[in-house]
Amino acid sequence: MPNVMQAFAGMFSSEPEPRTEAEYEAEVETYLDSVREEMPVALLKMGSSLVAAPKFVATNLTQRNYERLEVRVHIAGDVEAEHIRSRMPKFEDLLPPRPRLWGPIRTNYANLGIPLN
User: Could you tell me the pLDDT band of residue 69, with boundaries at 50, 70 and 90?
Assistant: confident
Strand, coil or helix: what is 4?
Answer: helix
Bridge partner residues of 105 (DSSP)? 15
Q: CA 90, CA 103: separation in Å to the nearest integer?
A: 27
- CB 89, CB 46: distance < 8 Å: yes
Each residue of 8-33: pLDDT tens digit? 555 667 789 899 999 999 999 999 99
**What letter does residue 54 receive in the DSSP assignment?**
P
Question: Three-state SS across 59-82?
Answer: CCCCCCCCCCCCCCCCCCCCCCCC
Each residue of 30-67: pLDDT tens digit? 999 999 999 998 888 887 777 777 788 888 888 888 88
